[in-house]
Structures are given as C-alpha cells and as structure tokens.
Amino acid sequence: MKKKVLILGASSDIGYETVKFFLKNNWIVIAHFNKNKHKLSKLQKNPNLILFKFDLMKINLFKKFLSRKSHQLDNLDAFVSLTGYMRLKPFNKILPSDLIDHLNANYVSNLLVIQKILIKMKKKKWGRVLLASSIGTKFGGGKLTFAYSVSKYLNEFFPSIYKDFYKYNIMINALKIGVTDTKLHFKDKNKNMKRRIKLIPINKMASTYEVAEYVYFLCSEKNTLITNQVINISGGE
C-alpha cells in the first residue's frame, strides 16, 4: 500500500522540492498552499498529488476543516510542516495581532494536525512528524523577523507526551534549516546576502533540493533511530 504524507507549506520553494521527492518515491501527497499555486500546478498531472488551499491564519476555520477531512488523515503515514508565513516589521512596532497571525500559521496549525494524527499513527505502529524551524532562532531572529522567529522556535519544543508514542515507531523531529536559496531569504531588501553567507562555515547556502533530501530521509523508512531531536542543517552555524 502506498504511504501518504500531508505537507503544509507545500508551495514554498523547499515545499515544492519536497513534494517532488515524495512523489518520486510513490507516496500519496496531500499538499497545502495558500496564495501561490503556480509551481505545484506543474505537478497536478501526477495522480498521487492532492492539492488544497487554506489560509492558516484562520485557525478556527482550519480546525473545522480538519474535522471535516478527518477521513483523509486516517491513513496518514507522515506529516511535514514547511509553513513560512513572514511579515517584516521592526520589533517596536510588533502588534499582538502580528504575533498571533504568525503563531497560528507557523505553529498552532501544526499542533492541530498532530493532535489528530498521533493516535491514528499509534494504531498503525508507524508514523513520521517533521516540523521546520529556522537557523535564525539560534541568534534571536533578524531585526524585522521577531514574530516569525518566535513562531518557528516553538516548533523545536517537544511536549513530554510525545515520548509515549516513540515506542510505536513514531518519529517526531524538528529541522532547523539554515540559509537556503529561497525567495524568503531575499524578502528583506536591506539584508546583504553575500555578507550573510560569509558567516556560514562551509561558505555557501543550501539548495532547496538538499533540504528536501533531509526532509524525505527523516520521514522515510530509512529513519529508524532519529526522534525527539532538533536537527541543524545549516553548514556549521
């Protein structure tokens, strides 16, 4: 039977490469997007791809959506979150609503999915959960990305209840992703990317393909031992 993965943030640059990895390995992929469907549309001819659109900031509606679609989550083998909602704003101008929007899109949405799927994965005695964080959380985020960094940092928090599921071959990890060749890193026009790359010990940014390889490995059957870990893929930072 084909394995099935749910990917939030599948329309991001890393998300798109990740979707391709899972499809190449004959997984059924339920891929989420909000505004940008362009890249994913190129893959729509693949019968294993299911697309759905949702604004994850509308968290109460998303909770209802998950209840309505619970039958699609029954046989879910893996869940990957690559959400990357970011609104650039100076620290002293951050409003409670800014923080709430980032938390809903980048963290609470993940929590709602995990609450739905862990019990079902336990019955199957197999499951993989991978949440994306950012290397920026290690350094307190950027001058304009406080709300984004806080929301991503929460993906590195492992509730103690997760340990009850590891013995059922359910691996739950966070991936702290370093500087990658994505549009997100060029969103801040004041950011000097050449200078930023010089701070990376291996002196290069990652490609989206490289990151997608790590994502797929951690969600595949080849990952038999790694769980409860924040895995840093940032070239030594």
Domain ranges of the chain: 4-233
Q: What is the DSSP string of 113-179?
A: HHHHHHHHHHHHT-EEEEEEEEGGGGGT--TT-HHHHHHHHGGG---GGGHHHHTTTEEEEEEEE--
Angle at 81 between CA 83 and CA 31, to 5 degrees: 85
Rounded Cα distance between 172 and 232, Å, is 15
Rounded Cα distance between 179 and 111, Å, is 25
Rounded Cα distance between 114 and 120, Å, is 10
* pLDDT score of 154: 97
Structure tokens, 184? 């997100």
What's the CA dihedral at 172, 159, 30, 13 to 10 degrees? -80
- Give the full edge-to-edge strand order of the sheet including 28-33: 49-53, 28-33, 4-8, 78-81, 127-134, 170-177, 229-233
Rounded Cα distance between 42 and 40, Å, is 5
Strands 28-33 and 127-134: unpaired
3-state secondary structure 29-68: EEEEECCCCHHHHCCCCCCCEEEEECCCCCHHHHHHHHHH
* Phi, psi (rounded to 5 degrees) for 171: -105, 125
Per-residue pLDDT of the chain (237 residues; tens, 9 = 90+): 899 999 999 999 999 999 999 999 999 999 999 988 988 999 999 999 999 999 999 999 999 999 998 888 888 999 999 999 999 999 999 999 999 999 999 999 999 999 999 999 999 999 999 999 999 899 998 889 999 999 999 999 999 999 999 999 999 999 999 888 876 656 556 667 777 787 889 888 889 999 999 999 999 999 999 999 999 998 888
* pLDDT score of 35: 86
pLDDT tens digits along 17-56: 999 999 999 999 999 999 889 889 999 999 999 999 999 9
Mean pLDDT score across all residues of the chain: 93
pTM above 0.85, yes or no: yes
Q: Does domain 4-233 have CATH number 3.40.50.720?
A: yes
